[in-house]
Amino acid sequence: GKLGAILPVTVILAIASGLWLYRIDFPQMQIEFFTRRALDYTLGGFLAIIAFIVGISINLPTGSKIAVLANAIGPASPTAEQGAELARLSRKLLISSRAVAILTLGAGAFMALARFAR
């Protein structure tokens, strides 16, 4: 639906604004200027970008495949093959969604820690 189209754009804007703010806060990316705060923001941003990549490359296409299969099945009972494919896709989506959740929580945790780091 509309959420599937709006959410990736929103995430791209959030990542772009985060990168811009990161550039403003840490203009000199030399090791002697790399503080604990910079490291926490770097790791948090990295995890957020990985979560986005997993979401776009695995969750989005898998969700689309599930929707197509569900439409093909309609109100009828799925065939054994359709049921097996639906179960496989659902399992794949569950695993990748959990990975995105863990990566996102990690990103938030690092960014929260960075707020208090020196």
Whole-angstrom Cα distance, residue 60 to residue 4? 8
Looking only at Cα atoms, what is the longest distance across the chain?
65
Q: Give 10-56 pLDDT, tens digit per residue.
A: 888 888 888 888 888 777 767 777 788 888 888 999 999 999 999 99
Q: 60 phi and psi, to 5 degrees?
A: -60, -50
The DSSP call for residue 78 is P
Number of other residues whose CB lies within 10 A of the CB of residue 39: 14
Whole-angstrom Cα distance, residue 71 to residue 1? 14
Average model confidence (pLDDT) across the chain: 89
Number of other residues whose CB lies within 10 A of the CB of residue 42: 16
Average pLDDT over residues 87-99: 97
Q: Give 59-74 pLDDT, tens digit per residue.
A: 999 999 999 999 999 9
| Helical residues (DSSP H) of 57-117, grouped into ranges | 60-73, 80-116
Q: Domain residue spans in the chain?
A: 2-116
